[in-house]
Amino acid sequence: MGQNFFKRDDRDVQFVLKEQLNVAQLLECDAYKDFTTEDFDMILSQAMKIAANDVAPTFQDGDREGCHFEKGKVTVPKSFHQAWKVYKEGSWFGLGLNPEYGGQGAPVLITEVAMEFFQSANFPFMCFTGMGPGNGGMIENYGTQKLKDLFVQKMYDGTWGGGMCLTEPAVGSDAHMVSAKAIPDGEYYRISGTKIFITSGEHDLTENIIHLVIARIEGAPPGAKGVSLFVVPKIRVNDDGSLGEPNDVACIGIEHKMGLNGSATCAMNFGENGNCRGYLVGEPGMGLAYMFQMVNLARMAVGLESVAFASNIYANCLAYAKERIQGTPYGTKDGRRVRIVEHTDIRRMLMNIKALAEGMRALVYKAYLMEDFSKAHSDPEERKKAHERLELFTPLVKAYCSDRIYEIGRDGIQILGGYGFTKEYPIEQYARDCKILSIWDGTNYVQAVDLIGRKLKMSGGRAFQGWVDEVTEFIASTGQANDTLKEEMALLSEALQAVLGVVAKYDAYKKEGRIDLVPLTATRFLDCVAEVAVAHLLLEQAVIAQRKLASPANEGDKSFYEGKLETVRYYVKNFLPQVFGRVRIISLEDTSAVLIKEESL
């Protein structure tokens, strides 16, 4: 096995869960009433232990040994088998899933925090663990009772894996254009077509893999309305649950990638011999709508994965910076060499990582709390509001976090200097592994367009306005009375107004027929909204830290809260003001990217 680089802790996790979000309030939801806060603590401390001791040692194997393809079979790194066994024995697959099918029914927020620890330990390994429960959830929500009885339990306990099969050689972002076919054949459909880039499409961790395949029923209308969803097992499953014959599902190769080498990215042929059976899920023509339920979960997961990477990158960089002796401090002449953590520029980069990691965590956890409330709050109006906030935040979580984690990887490597560029340290692997996050589950441009085209106007603009009101109210009630954070609150207020100015511009573009200005500015706009959202949540944390500093329980708490105040200040003064530059760029309405002729590009 490779080296164990798991150095992160859970101090900020505990702070956000308990002191900012008051996770105990989840116990008031009927669905979670059988849990206690001690249960939450126990789940998370166990997850941390297994992540650190059993999963993290497999991190380098994923990259160095990688996955191998031979004669239709994919083998995963050897150490993944042992990690899978431990993960399965601990029932981690079903932590947040329906107890009726063997899950444990834990809140989404607690489940996802546990996943954050495992993802810090070895994300490519977690790509295998996530697919079975994800696909099982879709079957549970939309499948017939027969499909649920046949598949769900074994997908929730790690007996069977899953593959989510949407992408085709000529169809990526244009998901509604899929060409895979489904021909009715009695109780089943005969599935045929090629899917590419399928995560965990084939591997040797489980005896069966239950694919969800997007395909077009013969004669269906073109476009999204003609797309349906099918359950397609690798090995057929008999009515008594035992395994039957192979189902004409073939892996024809795996991709060789810049990162995520421990995760098998497979090209799949369905029905090469005309003998691939699929079961329709739900109604014909609803495939994309159903799939979007899973895609939305995956978009949230991208944010969490970014937080998971950032936390361990930070811990590794900090440990290195505290040991490495190099250079003399700027402006000194006594020739004294210091640890690099004493250099201002290294501190700048460490603070970039720390502030972004904590800011992204605040955003992601808040969104997961909203997901819990949207499902389980006793008040239907609160459920609706929580759902709207989750919808509004999802593109921010997906795109803002995944673009930032690539920058974090860059800073992390830079902190370590030449060693950062070597495979002796884990940062370069994180930096390569994380790039996929801005691409899959809808590229980040798709998120920006979703924010502007759908989310701003969702529920007649109520979701967006509700968020604006909350930030405004926070500044008015908490900010103005807070002398220490006056400057930071003023920056938040100014940035919010700048964002609202762009929203007004988008309305004007629509009226004036200048809608083509939207794609030119969409990505920048998403970052502006995300920075205001993150700054708001971090300033909430700063106010809590100020209060706690009046009588900290011990020295550890004192330095944590002092650090929190400086970190929030750093974010608000070093990241949030980027809003002003971006809004200025947007207001210039520069169209040179469109006007330049293709032959001049």
Ligand X SMILES: Cc1cc2nc3c(=O)[nH]c(=O)nc-3n(C[C@H](O)[C@H](O)[C@H](O)COP(=O)(O)OP(=O)(O)OC[C@H]3O[C@@H](n4cnc5c(N)ncnc54)[C@H](O)[C@@H]3O)c2cc1C
Chain residues binding ligand X by CB under 6 A are 164-167, 172-173, 197-199, 257, 260, 265, 436, 439-440, 443, 445
Tell me the closest approach of the beta carbon of residue 363 to ligand X, in angstroms: 22
Residues 484 and 561: beta-carbon distance below 8 Å: no
Tell me the closest approach of the beta carbon of residue 598 to ligand X, in angstroms: 15
- The nearer residue to ligand X, 119 or 199, going by C-beta atoms, is 199
Tell me the closest approach of the beta carbon of residue 564 to ligand X, in angstroms: 35
d(CA 36, CA 540) in angstroms, rounded, equals: 26
- The nearer residue to ligand X, 143 or 262, going by C-beta atoms, is 262
What are the angstrom distances between the C-alpha of 389 and each of 15, 91, 371, 381, 386?
22, 31, 9, 12, 5
Kindly tell me the sign of the dihedral angle through the C-alpha atoms of 316, 322, 325, 329. Answer: positive
Q: Residue 476 gets which letter from DSSP?
A: I
Tell me the closest approach of the beta carbon of residue 429 to ligand X, in angstroms: 15
Tell me the closest approach of the beta carbon of residue 265 to ligand X, in angstroms: 4
Tell me the closest approach of the beta carbon of residue 166 to ligand X, in angstroms: 3
Helices (H), 512-554: 517-549
SS3 of residue 258 by DSSP: coil
d(CA 212, CA 214) in angstroms, rounded, equals: 7
- The nearer residue to ligand X, 104 or 521, going by C-beta atoms, is 521
Residue of minimal CB distance from ligand X?
172
Structure tokens at 480: 């103005």
- The nearer residue to ligand X, 357 or 522, going by C-beta atoms, is 522
Helices (H), 327-418: 344-376, 380-395, 401-416
Q: Write the CB contacts of 601 (distance below 8 Å, at least 6 apart in sequence).
A: none
Distance of CA 476 to the CA centre of its chain: 32
- The nearer residue to ligand X, 107 or 395, going by C-beta atoms, is 395
- The nearer residue to ligand X, 137 or 420, going by C-beta atoms, is 137
Residues 76 and 58: beta-carbon distance below 8 Å: no
- The nearer residue to ligand X, 262 or 412, going by C-beta atoms, is 262
- The nearer residue to ligand X, 436 or 502, going by C-beta atoms, is 436
- The nearer residue to ligand X, 166 or 362, going by C-beta atoms, is 166
Q: By C-alpha distance, which of 75, 200, 61, 74 is closest to 126?
A: 200
Q: How many CB atoms lie within 10 A of CB 247?
A: 21
- The nearer residue to ligand X, 49 or 68, going by C-beta atoms, is 68
SS3 of residue 185 by DSSP: strand
Tell me the closest approach of the beta carbon of residue 266 to ligand X, in angstroms: 8
Long-range CB contacts for residues 565-570, cutoff 8 Å, separation at least 24? 566/351, 567/351, 567/354, 567/355, 567/358, 567/538, 568/355, 568/488, 568/538, 568/539, 568/541, 568/542, 569/488, 569/542, 570/351, 570/354, 570/355
Tell me the closest approach of the beta carbon of residue 230 to ligand X, in angstroms: 14
